[in-house]
């Protein structure tokens, strides 16, 4: 996929991609310059639970499944950014991401966020705020799981 095709695909996915909330087209053009396309076959592991943080990914085409301890916990399609939480947090990967179908990814190199912070701090701020919002939503989603766990513990079922 050419840089122009990659850019067009990302612009097409903007409404589905929380990472780019509040980001204008000029900023998208700037950001796309740092992305690299990667194609994976169904069954290929993209990132592995317990590994050191690396690049992040924007899913352009296909489906990816996430597993924890070999159990599927999620499945998602185009427009999803994943792996960025480990990169920002400098933490080991908490999931394994596997191509559920043949996929096309835009790789967000781990150093691109640092470079972006130097070259375009306004865009960097928008992206980090969007990541923080996504992480806050995910944390809020854990509330029910924690409540269920507490109830089981109170009933002495754990």
Nearest-5° Cα angle at 139, 133 to 143 = 140
Give residue-wise pLDDT tens across range 62-102.
999 999 898 888 889 998 888 887 677 777 888 899 999 99
CA atoms within 13 A on the CB side of 92: 6
Give residue-wise pLDDT tens across range 52-62.
878 889 999 99
- 149 or 134, higher pLDDT: 134
The answer to whether 34 and 115 are in contact (CB under 8 A) is: yes
Please check the confidence at residue 113 and state whether its pLDDT lies above 80: yes
Nearest-5° Cα angle at 57, 50 to 105 = 125
Burial of residue 27 (CB within 10 Å: 0-12, 13-18, 19+) is middle
In terms of CATH, what superfamily is 3-154? Jelly Rolls (2.60.120.10)
pTM (2 d.p.): 0.80
């Amino acid at each position: 996929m050419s840089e122009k095709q990659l850019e067009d695909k990302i612009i097409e996915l903007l409404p589905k991609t929380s990472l780019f909330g509040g980001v204008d087209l000029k900023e998208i053009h700037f950001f796309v310059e740092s992305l690299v396309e990667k194609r994976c076959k169904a069954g290929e592991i993209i990132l592995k639970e317990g590994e050191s943080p690396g690049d992040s990914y924007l899913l352009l085409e296909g489906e990816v499944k996430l597993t924890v301890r070999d159990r599927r916990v999620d499945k998602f399609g185009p427009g999803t950014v994943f792996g960025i939480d480990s990169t920002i947090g400098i933490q080991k990967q908490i999931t394994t991401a596997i191509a559920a179908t043949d996929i096309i990814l835009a790789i967000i190199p781990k150093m691109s966020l640092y470079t972006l912070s130097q070259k375009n701090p306004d865009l960097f701020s928008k992206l980090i705020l969007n990541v923080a919002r996504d992480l806050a939503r995910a944390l809020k989603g854990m509330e029910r799981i924690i409540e269920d766990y507490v109830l089981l513990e109170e009933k002495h079922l754990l």
